[in-house]
Structure 1
Amino acid sequence: MKPDNPTLIDRLLEVIEQNIVPKTRAGVEAGNKLFGAAILRKGDLSLVLAETNNELENPLWHGEMHALKRFYELPKDKRPDTADCIFLSTHEPCSLCLSAITWTGFDNFFYLFSHEDSRDAFAIPHDLKILKEVFRLDPGGYNAENAFWKSYSIPALGRKLPEPERSRVSEKIARLTETYAQLSEIYQESKAGNAIPLS
């Protein structure tokens, strides 16, 4: 299925809204960040699992990392090959998560919010700071299409759709943006004194 297929984009947004957001809401209320991820089967777009950030347990359990942890806890006979899966992230993965997605063999990932959104809309600038300080990369400086995977911004894919699909996707993204703005407020108000090193 092509990445700009309206059925795929609708399904990815549906998984964020119905499967990731509820877990993220509970996680944020406990003091974790608002990042989440899911893994779907390419063949029928069925959900393998959805997860959210769990940095209070372990600072490595970013939304993507926690999803991968849970993925590899599945029985081997019930765990699809990563080559047969779609990796979905609510936010553009940080350098840690980019590496983990690569090492686990996914050939793709899709994300809703960019690194700049994480910094500007959600007041979490660490992804861009690490990319700049450690890797000397400016925003967007990593290779979004390479020998390992291709990455896709869901809003960018949505803007390329013809009408009425473009407007429908835009409305869904606007609704999710408002949801995540509310989750961000909860996180920012509750993060003081938590045990997350980069909170």
Structure 2
Amino acid sequence: MSDDKVVIDEPNQKAVLTPTADEIRQMYKVIEDEVLPKTRKGVKEGNKVFGAAILSPELQCKFCETNAETDCPIFHGEVHCIYQWSKATPPAERGPMAQSSIFLSTHEPCCMCISSILWAGFPVVYYFFPYSVTSAQGIPHDIKTMHELWGVTTYRKQNAYLSTACLMDLVAALPDGADKTELVATQDRLLKAYDEMANYYHTEKANNPENSLVLG
């Protein structure tokens, strides 16, 4: 008989992430300057708006990619980024590099992507948009697949493998002042850009012969 009890390894779970305003600013810069241009191109080719980057401990972008589901259905932005990183990184270096790197996702990773990030060995994960925004942009599958497969609406944000945090929530928690005002303005620019790309994707996907996704 299977044991359906949920196991929570509290003593060994990763710590809550507490980046500074400057660190959040740098991650927003990576999204705006590195990931977003690739995503604009990918959306024009019929792909969704999700992108990701692998950052050094100093938060410099080492690899970034965007969704490429027209090439392969599992090439979500995060999986595509890990795949390209793996091809460019010798096997013996992947584990140590992942353990010292930061994984940055434009949207909160789906069940496949968060599992892929875990299996690749990244212990620190930041994302910009939470699931609620992803759903509002017309793609509800992130929450629905977790519900249908496991009867949950999300993974555990801190666990023994990795710790995750939503950048928008972290900005909201900052004290009022110049840093917060600037970061909110950046968020507004990014939200507008991603809304425009999401609208384009949904408008054009029906006419795109390369888009034959079951979960479109």
Which of 161, 172, 175 in structure 2 is aligned with 1:148? Answer: 161
* Structure 2 counterpart of 1:157: 170
- Report the Cα offset of residue 78 of structure 1: 7.9
Kindly indicate whether the alpha-carbon contact (under 8 Å) linking 1:38 and 1:48 is maintained by their aligned counterparts in 2: yes
| Secondary structure of 1:81's aligned partner | helix
- Report the Cα offset of residue 197 of structure 1: 2.2
Which of 53, 66, 70 in structure 2 is aligned with 1:38? Answer: 53
- Report the Cα offset of residue 90 of structure 1: 0.3
| Secondary structure of 1:111's aligned partner | strand
* Structure 1 counterpart of 2:27: 12
* Structure 1 counterpart of 2:132: 116
Q: Distance in 1 between matches of 2:79 and 2:214?
A: 16
TM-score, length of structure 1 as denominator length? 0.93
* Structure 2 counterpart of 1:23: 38
Q: Distance in 2 between matches of 1:57 and 1:165?
A: 40
Q: Distance in 2 between matches of 1:195 and 1:105?
A: 31
Q: Distance in 2 between matches of 1:107 and 1:74?
A: 20
| Secondary structure of 2:198's aligned partner | helix
Over residues 13-50 of structure 1, what are the superposed CA-to-partner deviations in whole Å (9 max), with x where a residue is unaligned? 001000001100000000000000000001x2221111
Q: Give, as a single letter, the amino acid of the residue that structure 2 aligns with 1:131.
A: M
Q: Give, as a single letter, the amino acid of the residue that structure 2 aligns with 1:106.
A: F
Q: Give, as a single letter, the amino acid of the residue that structure 2 aligns with 1:182.
A: E
Percent sequence identity is: 35
Q: Distance in 1 between matches of 2:89 and 2:112?
A: 25
TM-score, length of structure 2 as denominator length? 0.86
- Name the CA shift for 1:135/1:38 in 2 (closer, same or farther; >3 Å): same
Q: Distance in 1 between matches of 2:144 and 2:166?
A: 20
2:75 maps to 1:61: yes
2:134 maps to 1:106: no
Aligned length: 194
Kindly indicate whether the alpha-carbon contact (under 8 Å) linking 1:160 and 1:166 is maintained by their aligned counterparts in 2: no
Over residues 74-133 of structure 1, what are the superposed CA-to-partner deviations in whole Å (9 max), with x where a residue is unaligned? 14288661011000000000000010011111111101111111111x100111110111
Q: Distance in 2 between matches of 1:158 and 1:115?
A: 17
Q: Distance in 1 between matches of 2:32 and 2:112?
A: 25
Kindly indicate whether the alpha-carbon contact (under 8 Å) linking 1:13 and 1:172 is maintained by their aligned counterparts in 2: yes
* Structure 1 counterpart of 2:97: 81
Q: Give, as a single letter, the amino acid of the residue that structure 1 aligns with 2:214.
A: P
- Report the Cα offset of residue 178 of structure 1: 0.3
- Report the Cα offset of residue 6 of structure 1: 1.2
- Name the CA shift for 1:75/1:100 in 2 (closer, same or farther; >3 Å): closer
Report which of the two structures shows the higher radius of gyration computed on alpha carbons: 2
| Secondary structure of 1:191's aligned partner | helix
Root-mean-square deviation (Å): 1.5
Q: Distance in 2 between matches of 1:108 and 1:156?
A: 16
